[in-house]
Amino acid sequence: MTAQRKKRDSGASVRERILDTATDLFYKQGFSNTGMRQIIQESGSVAASLYDHFPSKKELGIAYLARQEEKTLSDLASLMERYPEVQEFLRAWVILKERQIRHHEFFGDPFAGFANQVMDADPEYTEFLKGIAEKWTKMIRDYLSRAVASGQFSRTMDIQYTSRRVLMAYHGSITLWRMTKDLRYIREMEDSLREIFEDYTAK
C-alpha cells in the first residue's frame, strides 16, 4: 500500500470515528448539549483532525442528520421489502421499535429531537429536515401504491393523505413514549396504524 493510499485511508477512518462518536452523543444526550471538545475527547482525535473534516458544528450536525436518515430509511425499506402485506409490515415495524428500545438502541425520533433543539436557528437545518420528511413520506406512498395495485386496498384510497397519516401516527406514538417511557404507546401504535386503513380494506 502506498504512502498516499495509507494517508487517504487514515483520513477516512478518522472522519468516520469522529462522525460515529458525534452521532452517538448527539442522539443520546442532544445536539445542543454536546460540545466539540467532548466529541474530540471521546473520539480519540485532536482538534485539528475534527475541524479538518468538519469545519463547524453545523457541518457535523448535517452529517449526523444524513447518517440518521440513511439508517432510518434503510430500516424501513428492509421491512417493506420483507413484508409486502401491509398488515404484516405494521406489526413488524412495531416489533422492531420495541426491540430497539429494549436493547437501548432507540431513544426517540432523531429528527424531531434535533428540530426541537435547533428550532429555527438555521434555514439549512430546516430544509434538510423537511427533505427527510418528504423522502420518508414518499417511501410510504410508494409502498402503499404497490399495496393498492396488488389488491390489498381499494383504489379509492388517497395515498398521499394516507401516507401522511401513517407518519403522524408513528410520530405521535413515539413522542408519547418518549414523554412517558410507557411501552404501551409503542405496542398500541399498531392499532393506531391499522385504523387508518379500515375504510380502504379491499372486500
pLDDT cut 70: percent of the chain above it: 93
Q: How many residues does the chain have?
A: 203
Model pTM above 0.85: yes
Mean pLDDT, the chain, integer: 91
For the cut 90, the answer to whether the pLDDT of residue 11 exceeds it is: no
Domains of the chain: 11-55 (1.10.10.60), 62-200 (1.10.357.10)
Residue among 73, 87, 91 at smallest CA distance from 152: 87
For the cut 90, the answer to whether the pLDDT of residue 128 exceeds it is: yes
Q: What is the pLDDT of residues 172-192, one digit of tens each?
A: 999 999 999 999 999 999 999
- Position 2 scores a pLDDT of 43
Q: What is the pLDDT of residues 98-122, one digit of tens each?
A: 999 999 999 999 999 999 888 677 8
